[in-house]
Amino acid sequence: MNPIPDNLVSEDMALALTITTLIVGSVIILLIVKLRRQRQEYQTLFESVPCTITVQDKDFRIVGYNREFADMFNPTVGDYCYQVYKGRNKKCEVCPVERTFQDGKTHTSEETRENQNGTRKHWIVKTAPVTNAQGEIVAAIEMCLDVTARKMLEDELERSEKKYYAIFDNIPNPVLVLDPETYEVLDGNKSIESVYGYTKEAVLGKSFLDFFTAEERKHFEFKLKNSEPINQVKQIGRSGKTLYVNIRVSPSEYWGQKVLLVTVSDITKRLEAEQQLSQASKLATLGEMATGVAHELNQPLTVIKMASGFLTKKIQQNEPIPPEILTNMAEKINNNVERANKIINHMRDFARKSDLTLEKIGVNGVLERAYDIFSQQLKLRKIEVIWNLDENLPSIMGDAGRLEQVFINLLVNARDAIEKRWEEEEAAAPDKRIFITTAKRNDQVSVEVCDTGTGISKGVRAKIFEPFFTTKEVGKGTGLGLSISYGIVKDFRGQIRVTSHPEGGACFQLEFPIPQPSENKDVTNGR
Ligand SMILES: Nc1ncnc2c1ncn2[C@@H]1O[C@H](COP(=O)(O)OP(=O)(O)OP(=O)(O)O)[C@@H](O)[C@H]1O
Ligand SMILES: [Mg+2]
């Protein structure tokens, strides 16, 4: 290169040239500094991101990596990726780096590595192409985020969900998850099928109210809404099968949604067995009362016989019968037929199998009906009944026929205890009396049947509610009366206790809960 002759270069030009050279030099230096800084920043970023980064060539050899990767795998440049990550000696079947080399795009995958100690590591992998100035892919960058902890949590969650489902499905009682507004079944367990006959899948999406009888749906909808327990209710299963269940409802959360959790216990078999036993005991009571009832029936029959005899005689003798006497006779016959009818109907009602559903009943009325059927027995033995009934007694939830059975059992026992005491003590025994008292105490209806009989010793008292426990002679008592009564009272959510009466003798105290205003079914029996 030729130098410029000195005479051609003025001093000004030389100065300008020097300044230009200095400016260009400074700009270049500044650019270099900036580039260095940027490079350093990228390097720092590359080194300190909390994931491993490698740069790989098309043979999957590692040509660069960050500190995280170095700390984790201790690699050497040139190692194969699959060797370092997974201890393999050939490439993985599905490889995102390979796909990036093929199509020049980014790819994501999830990778798992089995450690030597049997544990597993999981990563989320993302790859991206590195291109040269001509746009050719010269390398692939692979970033891996360790998600082992999250994966373990997910696995744990899946395991606990499976466990929960196994428990949920194997609970012997049907459990249903309901929408709290529509009562639609959102989920349920396998036991639904064994009780209702429908598979869980068949029930999903249906309303739980459909299991109730049409006329009771409104009533039970109210109870479900208020999460009130529902006891001994009739429901309809597949093919119209009738079943009796207890239902417990609790508001809950299910997958973040507000729901009603409903647990159902099928009590049909228990109730049927109890009903059979109770029926047998009832028929035994009826048998025992046959003499009294015969006597009771004899009275109206005698009146009818007398009236008809009188009329026949008058007609045979051709004697005129004054109209007022004729009317009187006709009325007597009519009244006594009605009376006999009443006794027969009552006996038939009592012998009838009781219904298993509970409804509102008046206790005073049931007590009086029990006394009606039994009064002859007491009159014959000169046992006086002292009544003390609360005329404003609220109704209770029960079944009139079964409650009557309880009262008759108590009256029979009182009669036997009084008779026994009289046999033992004769003149020294107190008056033969039975006290029947009803009252409202707090939110309970209380009934007391007390007597002046033998009383019950402490030892015997502990056993009297057990089935087949009796102190009566063979052939006289089966020992079922009180155990059946206990079962019936419990079914009505009541209590039965025995204490000593101040005048001697035994005192049975019964208590029944007064139903909530929502339980607004009609009073069907009693007063
Ligand atoms: N009022 C009472 N006074 C004294 N003892 C009683 C009284 N009530 C029950 N008991 C005692 O309790 C026992 C059990 O009574 P429960 O009614 O269960 O059977 P039972 O009367 O012996 O036989 P069933 O009632 O089957 O004919 C009686 O045998 C008697 O010993
Ligand atoms: Mg008895």
3-state per-residue secondary structure call for 110-160: EEEEECCCCCEEEEEEEEEEEECCCCCEEEEEEEEEECHHHHHHHHHHHHH
**CA 497 – CA 527 distance, rounded (Å):** 25
* Cα separation of the two ends of the chain: 133
pTM score > 0.85 for this model?
A: no
CA gap 312, 5 in Å, rounded: 176
453 C-alpha to ligand 2 centroid (Å): 14
Total Cβ atoms within 10 A of residue 427: 5
To the nearest 10°, the Cα dihedral for 473, 476, 478, 483? -100
Which single residue is written with the structure tokens 């466990």?
A: 163
pLDDT tens column, 188-227: 999 999 999 999 999 999 999 999 999 889 889 999 999 9
Residue pair 53/69 in contact (Cβ under 8 Å)? The answer is yes
Q: Is the dihedral of CA 240, 241, 242, 247 positive or negative?
A: negative
Nearest ligand by distance to the CA of 277: 1
The Å distance, Cα 504 to ligand 2 centre, comes to 19
The CA 491 to ligand 2 mean position distance, Å, reads 19
Q: Which two tokens stand for residue 324?
A: 């007022």
State the sign of the Cα–Cα–Cα–Cα dihedral 322, 326, 328, 329.
positive
Q: Which of 435, 470, 496 to mutate to test the pocket of ligand 1 (most atoms within 8 A of CB)?
A: 470
The pLDDT of residue 361 is above 70: yes
Q: Report CA(389)–ligand 1 centroid distance (Å).
A: 25
In 255-329 the beta strands, taken as DSSP E runs, fall at 257-266
Of ligand 1's listed atoms, the one at least distance from the Cα of 284 is 27
* Residue 478 CA, closest ligand 1 atom number: 26
193 and 169 in contact (C-beta within 8 Å)? Answer: no
User: Per-residue pLDDT tens for 392-417?
Assistant: 999 999 999 889 989 999 999 999 99
Indicate the range of 130-139, 175-184, 270-279, 298-307 predicted with least confidence.
270-279
- CA nearest ligand 1 atom 25, residue: 481
Name which residue sits closest to atom 20 of ligand 1, judged by CA: 479
Provide the token pair at 448.
């007391």
CA of 481 to the centre of ligand 1 (A): 7
Side chain identity, residue 511: E
Residue 251 CB neighbour total at 10 angstroms? 10
- Do the bridges between strand 444-451 and strand 230-236 make them parallel or antiparallel, or are there none, so unpaired? unpaired
201 within 8 A of 255, measured Cβ to Cβ: no
> 355-359, 395-399, 416-420, 442-446: which range is least confident on average?
355-359
Distance 369 CA to ligand 2 centre (A): 18
**pLDDT at residue 495, as a whole number:** 94
Tell me which of 423, 451, 452, 472 to substitute to probe ligand 1's pocket, judged by most ligand atoms within 8 Å of the beta carbon.
Answer: 472
Do the beta carbons of residue 47 and residue 67 sit within 8 Å? yes
Q: What are phi and psi of 207, to 5 degrees?
A: -85, 135
Q: Select from 449, 448, 450, 438 the least CA-distant residue to 394.
A: 438
Among residues 57, 88, 53, 56, the alpha carbon closest in space to that of 69 is found at 53
Pocket test residue of 406, 422, 464 for ligand 1, highest count of atoms within 8 A of CB: 464
Q: Distance between alpha carbon 422 and the CA centroid of its chain, in Å?
A: 53
Query: Which ligand 1 atom sits closest to the C-alpha of 480?
Result: 26
| Res 524: pLDDT | 37
Ligand nearest to the CA of 468: 1
User: What mean pLDDT do residues 142-150 have?
Assistant: 90
Nearest CA to ligand 1 atom 9: 413
What single letter denotes the amino acid at residue 314? K
Percent of the chain with pLDDT over 70: 95
**What per-residue confidence (pLDDT) applies to 6?**
56
Reported as a pLDDT band with limits 50, 70 and 90, residue 7 is: low
Length, in residues, of the chain: 527
Mutate to test the pocket of ligand 1, among 407, 482, 484, 500 (most ligand atoms within 8 A of CB): 482
Q: Which residues line the pocket of ligand 1, CB cutoff 6 A?
A: 409, 413-414, 417, 451, 453-454, 456, 460, 464, 469-472, 477-483, 506
CA 313–ligand 1 middle distance (angstroms) = 52
The H or E element that residue 385 is part of is: strand 384-388
Cα-Cα-Cα-Cα dihedral of 225, 231, 232, 236, to 10°? 20
> How far, in Å, CA of 456 to CA of 417, rounded?
9
Average pLDDT, the chain: 87
Contacts of 119 (CB under 8 A, 6+ apart): none
Q: How many Å apart are CA 458 and CA 467, to the nearest integer?
A: 18
pLDDT at 29: 87
- SS3 (DSSP) at 442: coil
CA of 417 to the centre of ligand 2 (A): 10
Per-residue model confidence (pLDDT) at position 387: 97
pLDDT band at 1 (very low <50, low <70, confident <90, very high): very low
Q: How far is the CA of 118 from the centre of ligand 2 (A)?
A: 72
The pLDDT of residue 146 is: 87
Q: Ligand 1, residues 408, 413, 457, 471: which to mutate, most atoms within 8 A of Cβ?
A: 413
Helix and strand counts by DSSP (H, E) for the chain: 14, 18
Give the H/E segment covering residue 35.
Answer: helix 11-48
